Chains A and B, each alone.
Chain A
Amino acid sequence: MENLFNLSVTVNGTLYEREVEPRLLLSDFLRHDLGLTGTHVGCEHGVCGACTILFDNEPARSCLIFAVMAHGHEVTTVEGLGTIDSLHPLQEAFKEAHGLQCGFCTPGFLTTLVAFLKENPDPSEEEIREAISGNLCRCTGYQHIMEAVKLAAEKTKINT
């Protein structure tokens, strides 16, 4: 058994301290050590984007980060965006526009897009297409996802 590392990481605002193997992937740490199963694993080689989380507020693939690399950093998962009784406006927009079918890829889209809309609150269609180009979806064909993003951007515009 090799060296265990004392990991201290903030996830969705809560500080967690755990002893982990260096090779433990952040995706597995979140899902199985912390029980935050909203982040899904689709490929473990950084292509599908289902495992996307926010690492210090930037979207990143959790399957390409060792949990130990998150020591001292902040991670946000889909569970940190909203709850069933209080959906994040982006989650509302996804529901309204039918932007999900099986829902497996959805958490990865949500974290990616929350960060994107923060940086770019009034995006063009082309910019939205680029923003989601790193997330694969096999069910929706992306059209309703694009509409959800437009809807979310519009709603935020109206509210600000």
Chain B
Amino acid sequence: MTNQFIGERVRRNEDPRLLTGQALFVDDVEIPDMLHAAFMRSDYAHARILSIDVSAARERPGVVAVFTAEDMGDDWEPGPPLVSPPPTVKDVTFYSRRQAPLVKDTVHHAGETIAVVIAESRYIAEDAVEDIIVEYDPLPVIADLEKALAPDSPLVHDDLDSNLAAHLYQQKGNYEAAKAQADVVIKRRFYLDRGAAVAMENRGIVAHWDEKAKHLTMWDTTQAPIPIRNGIAARLGLSENQVRVIAPFIGGAFGPKMMMFYPEEMLIPWASKKLCRPIKWIEDRRENFYATTSEREQLHDVEMAFTKEGRILGFKDDFLHDTGAYDPYGLTIPLNTQCHLMGSYVIENFSSNCTAVFTNKPIVTPVRGAGRQQGIYIVERMLDVASKELDIDPLEIRKKNFIPPDAFPYNNGIIDQAFSTLIFDSGNYIAAYEKVAEMIGYKQFVKEEQPRLRAEGKHVGIAIIPFIETTGVGPYEGARVQIETSGKVNVNTGYGTQGQGHFTTFAQIVSEQLGVAVNDVRIITGDTAEFHWGTGTFASRGIVVAGNAIHAASSAVRQKVLKLASKVLATPEDELELEDGTVRIADIPQTSISLGELAALANPLRGAVEPGTEPGLEATDYFGPQTGATASGCHAMIIEVDPETLMVNIKRYVVVEDCGRVINPLIVEGQIHGGVSMGIGNAYYEKLHFDENGQILNASLADYLIVTSYEMPPRIETGHLETLSPLNKLGSKGVGEAGAIPVPALFAQALENALQDYNLEILETPLSPNRLFELLHESRMAKK
């Protein structure tokens, strides 16, 4: 059978709707009699609420209701824990605190919801929010990660003894013994700070409780409609099939649109049920900075033990992790960080103690990379420091330590975010590294071009950073594939999409099995009424987990097609082929039957059916990997820095990506470009600035700097490497987050390289021209 689907640059099925403004996003939903919500949010990061006076708001014309926590009565309860701490790690402490729909007594971060106004229009609702008078008793704010653990620190949660949210200790081998044998031990402290996801579409919810049908429909900008449905049903005392959650087209998600049970997600459906009216709430951009989760603040104290030849003997990293005011998402991010601290390298002795800390800041949950960025940043920076101290070429020191291509599957001996052992399934790190070095012309640049540019007064640096990325984790996903009598194929899956091209890539997987044109395969997702088993879109697992479930279900349908066609065409199955929407005899292609006709035959309106047959040409299947698939890659960059203004200009950018079998290279490139743009943002432009009162100083797109067309390199050049994953039939690995992961480490190496005369050592991210100016100044002072 000819396969023209997998690995092809198929153009996307979903594009015509999106291009013509015909795609439904949550804010496009209009229901007769719909009301609009606006929230009153706390200005203070930490305060007791003494009183809330909503009387004036209630009287404003056009206002239908105003609710506070008190009005919710017994229906008020905090959200559910979303991810439990890992049961398989021995040394875990975890104090669970979760956000509530509306604050009852104490505000724990700025922007928390205190009251909600439901009105005829969002305009009136916002007017009414200003009518609400809240009496606060401001409490001392703790916004500093390190200070939060000091004995005299204000407590974020006063029912706990400290701001300790969790301890997570993982180790393998014996670091102390390794350290004792080392020729050199290098110690450094690193600080990484927060960034936000900033999807172009803010969050939004439309909840419609139909009192007559006793049914709730909810449109939600969520990456996980199924858990949301289950949780909301439970909270409202409904059965699961009384609730339908629809995630229509979503304008980018990147992590924070996961099943957070955000306050608004818990409140709006409750309010709709209370008022028996449809209610819409759309987050605005200012709210988004406070009310949608963000990520990345950590403080690492790292030690690495080396032989004088540059072999890594051991690695120790104790770090603090800011979880914000609540920790609904368990230890996913710190686990990811720990799993990436060893990078692509053989490190036999490892010790890492993570302390998660509460602060009076908005909640921390995964943002593209989800803790992996931090791990890669640390290990790659340490190797750069070591290469200088040991006087070993930065490429050589890495080559000495890479996990070799014959060492797979490679057991890293610690636990990952999916609570299973961190095992790298396949990879060839040295090949990717060397390929990138060749693509960017590393040797020639360092030897000839760089000195020539330096002589012209230009400061141009080069960097190469390899990385691994854990992807494709469980628990599972599922799909139902059905051939209709029209000959078109329907695929229902619980795995949602927010721009990753699943309507096309999933279809390609089906097309490969059934020989149907890609645009004759209709993927239906993001609707719990269509498919209600699965978790959600996260951790770069779409192709691996949902894709393989779809592959399995399509294969099962293929078997049914062959079985039935064999009877109808009176030919053995192995002489049949599926192509162009038909089944035909391989040597006599004129003898064929269309899939649509077969589907009709498989669902007769009269007659008896054979016992044991299922109607139609349909199959449902699931896929649940035991361990995740490990993608890898390498980025390289040439960047020019103006040493006076500290402005940067990326001259070249090269990526080699290994995500196993590539379903659609065009879409993979798109994912890489987007990831790189976020990585560049995280490296040099984006930072969520908090003051000591827990206020965000740049809560607008004018001041939170996401990159535009100008800040990108002229071209991202991509090369592929494919080491198939043995863990799934497609041989695929995930790629959604890859582009963002190595970039901060890349910038650090490149800037140090460009500014070699200044002997800079970069131990933090994000950077900015101002920060670089300060570091240069500090290093100049240190030299004196």
Contacts and interface: CB of A to CB of B under 8 A. Distances in A.
B17 A84 contact: yes
Nearest to B122: A28
Nearest to A110: B19
A47 B285 CA distance: 11
B27 A41 contact: yes
Contact of B199 (A83, A133, A138): A138
B200 interface: yes
Grouping DSSP codes into helix (H, G, I), strand (E, B) and loop, the B interface class, with mixed when no group exceeds half, is loop
Contacts of A135: 708
A13 interface: no
Contacts of A36: 21
Contact of A100 (B15, B284, B716): B15
Nearest to B703: A47
A104 B498 CA distance: 10
Contacts of A44: 284-285
A82 B198 CA distance: 29
Q: Which among A78, A101, A110 has the highest number of chain B CB atoms within 10 Å?
A: A101
Given A45-B700, A98-B666, A104-B201, A139 B27 contact: no
B331 interface: no
A102 B250 contact: yes
A34 to B, nearest CB: 11
A1 B20 CA distance: 36
Nearest to A85: B16
Given A101-B674, A136-B708, A141-B677, A91 B19 contact: yes
Interface in B176-235: 198-202
Interface in B17-41: 17-25, 27-28, 30
Given A35-B30, A139-B499, A1 B251 contact: no
A43 B11 CA distance: 30
A38 interface: yes
B18 A103 contact: yes
A104 B252 contact: yes
B200 A105 contact: yes
Interface string B429-469: 00000000000000000000000000000000000000000
A47 to B, nearest CB: 4
Given A42-B285, A102-B498, A133 B252 contact: no
B20 A21 contact: no
Contacts of A95: 11-12, 15-16, 19
Given A87-B20, A102-B250, A37 B25 contact: yes
Interface in A102-133: 102-107, 110, 125, 129, 132-133
A104 B677 CA distance: 17
Contact of A144 (B200, B673, B675, B708): B673
Interface in B411-433: none
B501 interface: yes
A39 B22 CA distance: 10
Nearest to B667: A98
Contact of B709 (A42, A48, A132): A132
A68 interface: no
Interface in A14-54: 21, 23-24, 31-32, 35-45, 47-48, 50
B655 to A, nearest CB: 11
A44 B103 CA distance: 27
B172 interface: no
Contact of B15 (A43, A79, A94, A139): A94
Given A31-B27, A45-B702, A136-B701, A98 B20 contact: no
Contacts of A139: 200, 252, 499, 670, 674
A59 to B, nearest CB: 15
A96 B123 CA distance: 40
B710 A43 contact: no
B627 to A, nearest CB: 29
B563 interface: no
Nearest to A101: B499
A36 B249 CA distance: 16
Contact of A83 (B12, B20, B501): B20
Contacts of A107: 21
Contact of A141 (B27, B202, B501, B712): B712
Contact of A84 (B20, B252, B501, B714): B20
B255 to A, nearest CB: 12
Contacts of B251: 40, 42, 102-105
A50 B200 contact: yes
B137 to A, nearest CB: 33
B566 interface: no
A31 B38 CA distance: 19
Contacts of A23: 123
A62 interface: no
A101 B201 CA distance: 13
Contacts of B708: 132-136, 142
A98 B11 contact: yes
Contacts of A38: 20-22
A79 B61 contact: no
B16 A84 contact: yes
Contacts of A142: 673, 677, 708-709, 712
Contact of A81 (B15, B20, B27, B254): B20
A21 B22 CA distance: 27
B710 A133 contact: yes
A153 interface: no
A104 B19 contact: no
B506 to A, nearest CB: 15
A156 interface: no
Interface in B587-646: none
B676 interface: yes
Contact of A102 (B200, B202, B666): B200
A44 B200 CA distance: 12
A6 interface: no
A137 interface: yes
B299 interface: no
Contacts of B669: 98, 144
B715 interface: yes
A47 B674 contact: no
Contacts of A103: 14-15, 18-19, 23, 249, 251, 499
Contact of A32 (B15, B30, B670, B706): B30
B674 A43 contact: no
A104 B21 contact: no
Given A87-B16, A133-B710, A141 B11 contact: no
A146 interface: yes
Given A43-B285, A105-B200, A87 B19 contact: yes
B678 interface: yes
Nearest to A92: B19
Given A48-B200, A138-B200, A98 B670 contact: yes
A46 to B, nearest CB: 8
Contact of A101 (B21, B501, B714): B501
Contacts of A31: 27-28
Given A37-B24, A136-B708, A138-B254, 12 more contacts: A37-B21, A77-B21, A83-B20, A91-B19, A95-B11, A98-B666, A101-B499, A102-B200, A104-B25, A105-B251, A142-B709, A143-B673
Interface of A: 1, 21, 23-24, 31-32, 35-45, 47-48, 50, 77-79, 81-84, 87, 91, 94-96, 98, 100-107, 110, 125, 129, 132-146
- List the 5 closest pairs (A to B, CB-CB), nearest first: A38-B21, A104-B251, A102-B499, A103-B18, A141-B673
Interface of B: 11-12, 14-25, 27-28, 30, 61, 123, 198-202, 249-252, 254, 284-285, 498-501, 666-667, 669-671, 673-678, 700-702, 706, 708-710, 712, 714-716, 739
13 contacts: A24-B123, A37-B27, A44-B284, A47-B702, A48-B701, A79-B20, A98-B666, A101-B670, A133-B710, A138-B254, A140-B677, A142-B673, A142-B677
